[in-house]
Structure 1
């Protein structure tokens, strides 16, 4: 049984410095989470230490993706140049360890005209998909300026992973503030706000008709669907009003893959299987922010009814989606 972890993060000192150097109004406060404990040293290692941790967990292949907020908050020109450098570094890491690593592209979302071209370049380097966020500045992911990205991703058969991000400062002041600074941050990120942002981004793409225009497009949501799968009965009511061809839940089942992000709670697995099929589920640990042990992973895998379903979750579906030959 091959285990492929698809949401495993990394970064570089150059990107960290560029993000930390932004003016206060442009800075992403969730960057502080990268500094907690030994997260940063683990994020910056895409070599021997990472491979050793994979061995310890029983993971055969990691798909690398740049930790949030990636290059999104940077000025357009800086986002273009640094996204390119990050992709070159990730490609080199994969070349050094082709049996253990793959990568998702980092895209310069602050410069929409450069996004599709960088995805094409990354695909030529062997990247298996791209990771993006629901909003860049005030521009949402479903804005027409990004439609070339989705057309290109569909044509190249490269899935787009929508990762959570911190809500805008306006929303944070209105809904997540009033506690001490770290509690405010936790509430607006991993405790709640991150996941609403990602779910909303996916729901907006559906509502915008993105999958009607690009039926071959595949997206990925982490954390067992970022709460969206728990609310499909209500979300389906959007379809008729928005003039969609199908129900929201139908798009979820046909165009969205769901990954675990290290949340190995059997109840989440079983609920997800009421909303979609085993062929749409993917394994991930959200390294280094979540670090499940090998026994914890193995215990969770006993929740699958058959060896076939277990193999799909751990690696079979990832091999098919990302074109990984092992």
Structure 2
């Protein structure tokens, strides 16, 4: 498990390259969870309401923009909370990175980001799941609850919504995809 950023330095930064190269060499599965943004919270908005989603999106963007995902194809990255804003904004993010002089094309950046895995923690809404399933390979969507960090009633509500969703393959999300990703625990 790695935090999306450490003191404002995001995964994908050259400071993390030795670690990510070694994890990639080992074919490691790395769960990326958000941390505090490197800025003060907005008064009246708890960081877990929106900042955490941005933090995950920033980490994924940095991993792609830096070429980390491309250089380490055996690194298996799980992005929490359905990847934050990534499924919604991936086309814009990739196009802007290319426009800003990035070395990889929009299509290549999107392909790199689609290699990530996405958990469903606190993301089982009729708004978020269709975006996630439109972007992510169905075999790369994993069950997540965010329990015990999320209160049990919220985790339960989100799990019930996930169970009722018509847009996912329940057997795959509930177990099958994780069993393929982590066969030693199947």
Structure 2: stretches of 5+ with no match in the other structure: none
How far 1:299 sits from its partner (Å)? 5.2
Structure 1 match to 2:110: 249
Scaled by the length of structure 2, the TM-score of the pair is 0.84
Structure 1: stretches of 5+ with no match in the other structure: 1-130
Structure 2 match to 1:68: none
Q: Which residue of the other structure, out of 306, 309, 312, is the alignment partner of 2:172?
A: 312
Q: Distance in 1 between matches of 2:98 and 2:31?
A: 23
- Give 3-state SS (helix, strand or coil) of 2:148's partner: coil
Structure 1 match to 2:164: 302
CA gap of 1:313–1:143, structure 2 versus 1, over 3 A, is: same
Kindly provide the CA deviation profile for residues 143-184 of structure 1, in whole angstroms up to 9, marking residues without a partner as x.
22321222222222222122111112xx22xxx44x4xxx25
- Kept after mapping to 2: 8 A contact 1:151/1:214: yes
CA gap of 1:262–1:210, structure 2 versus 1, over 3 A, is: same
2:16 matched to 1:146? yes
Scaled by the length of structure 1, the TM-score of the pair is 0.50
Aligned residue pairs, count: 180
Alignment of 1:212-231 (within 5 A): 212-231=70-89
List structure 1 segments (4+ residues) > 6 angstroms apart after TM superposition: none
Q: Distance in 2 between matches of 1:310 and 1:165?
A: 29
Bigger Cα Rg? 1
Alignment of 1:67-146 (within 5 A): 131-146=1-16
Q: Distance in 1 between matches of 2:104 and 2:161?
A: 41
Q: Distance in 2 between matches of 1:323 and 1:156?
A: 15
Q: Distance in 2 between matches of 1:234 and 1:227?
A: 11
CA gap of 1:305–1:152, structure 2 versus 1, over 3 A, is: same
Structure 1 match to 2:25: 155
2:60 matched to 1:202? yes
- Kept after mapping to 2: 8 A contact 1:142/1:201: yes
Q: Distance in 1 between matches of 2:158 and 2:117?
A: 23
